[in-house]
Amino acid sequence: MQSVLRYLSAFAGLLFLALGLMFLIAPASQTARFALLPSSNTGLSTLRGDLAGLFLGMALFALLGAIRGIGRYLAIPATFLVFIILDD
């Protein structure tokens, strides 16, 4: 059971890593997927900085929790996701 949870955590970490890299490299291609409408280059820079940093940070802690097998690391991306979901 523990190895299944580690694989799920690693999968989530890789998903967050892919999203973070996509926002870092090509934020304009991700705007339709997330229903975001940047008004100018400044908006794209904000997407690149904020969302890339968010997803890369979540990837770091999810992968760290999967590799080391310490569940406390997984509380950080879970907390971020709760804040994203509850944000109105």
pTM of this structure: 0.87
| pLDDT given for residue 88 in this prediction | 63
Q: Which residues contact 29 (CB under 8 A, 6 or more apart)?
A: 22
Cα distance between residue 36 and residue 14, in whole Å: 23
Mean pLDDT along residues 8-18: 95
DSSP per-residue string spanning the chain? -HHHHHHHHHHHHHHHHHHHHHHHH-HHHHTTTTT----SHHHHHHIIIIIHHHHHHHHHHHHHHHHHT-GGGGHHHHHHHHHHHH--
